A and B are shown apart, each in its own frame.
Chain A
Amino acid sequence: MAPPTSSSHRPRKKRKAPTAPGSNNSLIVDFGDGKQSPAFPLVSFLWAARAGVSQWLILPLTLMAVGLFRWAVSLWGYSGFNVPPMHGDFEAQRHWMEITTHLPVAKWYLYDLQYWGLDYPPLTAYHSWLCGKIGSAFDPAWFALDESRGIEGPDLKVYMRATVLISEYLVYVPAVVNFLRRYTRMHGVHAWSASIALVAILLQPATILIDHGHFQYNTVMLGLMVASLDAILAGRMLWACIFFVGALGFKQMALYYAPVMFAYLLGVCVFPRIRILRLLNIALITLAAFALLFAPLLYGATTTEARELFATSAEPPLLQSLPIFLDKNSMAYALLFQMTQTIHRVFPFARGLFEDKVANAWCAIHTFYKLNRFEASLLQRASLGATLASIIVPCAIIFRHPRASLLLPALSCVSWGFFLFSFQVHEKSVLLPLLPMTLTLAGDGGLSKQNRAWIGWANILGSWTMYPLLKREELRLPYFVMTLLWAYLMGLPPTSFEIFRSRASPEETPLEPHLFSKLLHLAFYLAMIGWHILEAFVLPPAGKPDLWVVLNALIGAAGFGLAYLWCMWNLVVQCREIDLRAAEEGSRKKKQ
């Protein structure tokens, strides 16, 4: 072999070649006449790249293309556009930029709760502060204290939309790209199918619609989570802790992932042998990360003005329940006050079991059997119990087998459990289980018919359950365009029924979806289409104005329950495979 020339673009490392064409990801279909054709439309868009086109070309083009779709969605309306007096999430985020840039740190978590009080963890507050500072350089009126409430304007909209896009491209996109690079290498997946999976993941309709349409910064939290997974794959446990604390510190919703992360990190310290030092390291670095996260807040609480403020404010309930009594003017009281006030704001235990119509178990049960007859505390305990029951198996598996390859199914399983059974669930929380599920597209056999059918179905169902929300915000057209586009690119119904047709050669049959799951999926797709027709053309009966929304939530809950079971089954199967392989290797070693 001649040495590589310097002139041409070449990746630094040669990828491990697949053993046979399309062995692990059935991307090329051969109809038996020698003609090769792409298995689904997304493959044809990257068809020209199948023979080693440089990543230096494919990656920028991919990122530009998905960025264009994001920006185009962001031209549409946002949550609370033209809806005074409270507006919506857009106004909430803008308001946080307003208060963090103008108020001393001590007041951040105390300021007017009724008007979108800051109720996200500190990292969101710092992020808001940064965005507010930069935005004020463009136009201070956007974030003038109190004066700017409910402000709307094309330039402000562009600025806010740009902060979402830039935050995403600084956190989520690099994290996903790096994660996929490591993950596909681990699974021996060809670079070409990794590129295809990347496009599929970055075009996930639900994420784009919520962040760039509805307006939120979920991708920052999800990005930190993916960065944490990437660190785990790289074997850098300490970085994994830091990134995960970052995710938690950006949005408390990351708690859905916490049990698995905890079980995994504990597992690596216990199995195959107990490693106390590693456990100590992990514990220390996690504590340090939390300390770092709260440091600016606590530092702000030490000033005299802050102490005076805290001494005169009402005690946060959490502080009241603590069995300590401190001098109200002391430094310790101020620090404790700030901590407890923040936690109190971030976790609103006082709210109900569920807010809107959301596709989870409680809402579904409530439809048939009114739950408000029970006391709130009982419901809370029931919800806690059900959630624990739903996550105990995957957590136990990941604790006993702390393997990186099991992380994604375990994460999706546990977050589905949270979504279905925990309380105070938003329809937007469906992004959390969808992320690890969709990431498995990049794995071994990830783009096979079976995987594509299930993951694609879950994603489409996920964005379908958000339709009532998106409809309120005039995001109907982007919803249809983005969801159908994704379905089209992945070769899924309702744009194509190819996925239900079995035409593969015998050795590929295990990667085909089972007949039963085909029927199930078909039923769900038909239900979704039928629901859209009902919703568009038939008025709900008098006295039940929310009937269609409830129906949506019911179908959604059933589907998500199925998705939970599928992830669980996947986890168990993969775990057993690993066990078998380990047993084989063990016996081979014994023979030697």
Chain B
Amino acid sequence: MARFIGLAQASDNTSSDPPNNNGNHAKSDLLSNSSGRRRDVNEVLQLDTVENGMAHADVREVHAEKLAVDTLALSALALFRAQLLNGSPHSAPTSPTELGATAMAELYPSLAQCAIVAAAFKVLLFPAYKSTDFEVHRNWLAITHSLPVKEWYYEKTSEWTLDYPPFFAAFEWLMSQAAALVDPAMLVVKNLGYDSWVTVYFQRTTVILTELVLVYALSRFIKSAPLANKQAAHVASLSILLSPGLLIIDHIHFQYNGFMYGILILSLVLARKQLLASGFLFAALLCFKHIYLYLSLAYFVYLLRAYCLDPKNVLRPRFLNIIKLGICVVGVFAIAFGPFADQILQLKDRLFPFSRGLCHAYWAPNFWAMYSFADRALIPLAPRLGLSVNREALSSVTRGLVGDTSFAILPEVTKEQTFLLTFVFQLVPLVKLWLQPDWNTFIGAITLCGYASFLFGWHVHEKAVLLIIIPFSLIALKDRRHFSAFRPLAVAGHVSLFPLLFTPAEFPLKTVYTIFWLILFLFIFDRIAPVPERPRVFLFDRFSSIYLTLSIPVVLYSSLLHHLIFGSQRLQFLPLMFMSSYSALGVVGSWVGFMVVYFTT
């Protein structure tokens, strides 16, 4: 009996529709598999395989028997449906919720198991390299603990002044209460650069513990996924939980992204049904870290269209909903910024320091990195093409390590231009979201807003790539078209984080862990992602595989060969420039690809 249920589920997985209307769907999906995608059939057989000890299902054989299996699956489906209707007395689960439980039981390793093993690994990373962000957060612990609230945003003993919104400051204050019990010395504002063992243990532990928010959000995400997508949601959750991005940024470099992306994912999950709670959480998230402002337009459009206006008639507002949402959002902001009402300009200066340059030190892999690369590449050609060269800029561009970059040949870029570009490219996907305000489109729009701000924003950090990767992970397994747009991003986004860690001891950690993650999840995604309803763009697949192959020589060159050929002193900027241009190509490529997928789905 269990086997038949399994068969029914396996064929269910191919389509996102509920089981009662997908008889033909399952069939067509199985048929369209003949192009070499063998997942469903394999899965159907997998159950047999375990039971009979048949180690390997032969692919061609499977294809030859495709039709037979197909009919088998269909009959299993029919049986399953009959059971659902009759409430059969068999021991097999009969209601959809119970079935969900069976499906859950099939999913191993569980989220909690992975979290435990990952936590063990993260604890072992305590003595690893930590960036100045560690001192930044220690300083904030000290500021919030030892100064009155009014002085938090004025204190400047350390150069790492408090520049996150008030909720984050309150979060630091909360942690400082525990820190006082552990080592009060870390809470002294004047103790610059204090990093006793206890301090390191304490701060690193807070990162691991607050990441439980992410684990909770992911478990909610799995629960909220429709039955047919359970497995995909489970795998996607594991990929986020084990993300090399979070490992590198949070547990080695030191930040609290796991915690905040946990809130974001929770808000995105709630956006399926509880829109008010979702909006409330997002407003709170903005008061934790204002980088999420980049995603706010998508939230605005979605909540306006799906919550504040009548779904059937745009011209009929739902006033009660508007008032509820308004109270929530205004209330959150009032609680956050209320205590600082008289110093709001000081907060603005701290939160939005616009004195920085266009590109960040390591050249985040965005459009401007490619722009800089083009500028750099044009310098030798300039005399032949008759272009004028800005001599002053020459030295600055070659460094690549200084804050503000100026261009030798291409025109300078102003802040206003970057804002305009970001805004325009955010608006494009939002049009579709306005017309079709469902959850999948919303996540797509969030992802595209992340893309636009990462690619065209002013002074973008390479860490901000998580703003794209994490929301995208939630829908990357929707079908193979989504997955092939996701693939170059997964490679480029994580490889571009490598320069964050430059000490030799962390080199094996970041590379091996990232390769491990890429092999594991790209392989599983590849097996799980269902076949799309529309045919895929052939060219894009080729681009994606060529891109993947290219990553090997690029990473090899910039991490090893360059030093062997040129030594560590000459042409320092070259590996960084290669890496960021290569990664930028991947991010831009996946952006274009996803745009196409988004507008044609």
Contact = CB atoms under 8 A, between A and B. Distances in A.
Given A64-B512, A75-B125, A21 B61 contact: no
A2 B62 CA distance: 9
B108 A154 contact: no
Contact of A51 (B49, B60, B92, B125): B49
B300 to A, nearest CB: 40
A61 interface: yes
Interface string A59-84: 01100110111011101100000000
B159 interface: no
Contacts of A17: 52-55
A15 B55 contact: yes
B505 A477 contact: no
A488 to B, nearest CB: 7
Contacts of B2: 34-35
A18 B53 contact: yes
A231 to B, nearest CB: 27
A34 B91 contact: yes
Interface stretch (B145-153, B322-330, B416-424, B519-527): B519-527
A592 to B, nearest CB: 31
Interface string B33-75: 0001000000001100111111111111100100000000000
A45 B520 contact: no
B128 interface: yes
Given A33-B91, A75-B128, A477-B123, A48 B524 contact: yes
Interface string A164-195: 00000000000000000000000000110000
Contacts of A117: none
B120 A71 contact: no
Interface stretch (A36-44, A232-240, A309-317, A536-544): A36-44
A50 B102 CA distance: 18
B116 interface: yes
A485 interface: yes
Contacts of A276: none
B504 interface: yes
Given A47-B109, A158-B505, A57 B519 contact: yes
Given A45-B109, A52-B49, A485-B120, A1 B58 contact: yes
Interface stretch (A5-13, A464-472, A501-509): A5-13
Residue among A14, A19, A36 having the largest count of chain B Cβ atoms under 10 Å: A36
A478 interface: yes
Given A52-B49, A60-B519, A14 B123 contact: no
A157 B129 CA distance: 14
A161 B51 CA distance: 45
Interface in A452-501: 477-478, 481-482, 484-485, 488-489
B57 A52 contact: yes
A478 B124 contact: yes
Interface residues of B, number: 50
Contacts of B120: 481-482, 484-485
A18 B113 CA distance: 28
Given A33-B91, A61-B520, A50 B50 contact: yes
A34 B110 contact: no
Nearest to A17: B53
Nearest to B48: A51
**How big is the A interface, by class?**
35 or more
B105 A35 contact: yes
A118 to B, nearest CB: 28
A67 B38 CA distance: 32
Contact of A5 (B52, B60, B512): B60
B519 A61 contact: yes
Interface in B1-35: 1-2
A155 interface: yes
Contacts of A18: 53
B445 to A, nearest CB: 32
A3 B108 CA distance: 33
Contact of B121 (A37, A69, A489): A69
A485 B56 contact: no
Interface in B57-107: 57-61, 64, 91-92, 102, 105
A64 B515 contact: yes
Interface in A303-357: none
B117 A64 contact: no
B513 A8 contact: no
B108 A44 contact: yes
A158 B509 CA distance: 12
B512 A75 contact: no
Contacts of B160: none
B58 A2 contact: yes
Contact of B113 (A36, A44, A481): A44
B503 interface: yes
A4 interface: yes
A489 to B, nearest CB: 8
Contacts of B184: none
B371 to A, nearest CB: 36
Given A51-B45, A73-B124, A489-B117, 16 more contacts: A1-B61, A10-B56, A33-B91, A48-B524, A68-B121, A68-B509, A69-B121, A72-B121, A72-B124, A76-B124, A154-B505, A157-B505, A161-B505, A191-B55, A482-B120, A485-B120
CB-based closest 4 A-B pairs: A47-B108, A17-B53, A44-B108, A72-B124
11 contacts: A17-B52, A21-B53, A34-B1, A34-B92, A45-B109, A45-B113, A51-B55, A65-B516, A68-B516, A154-B503, A478-B124
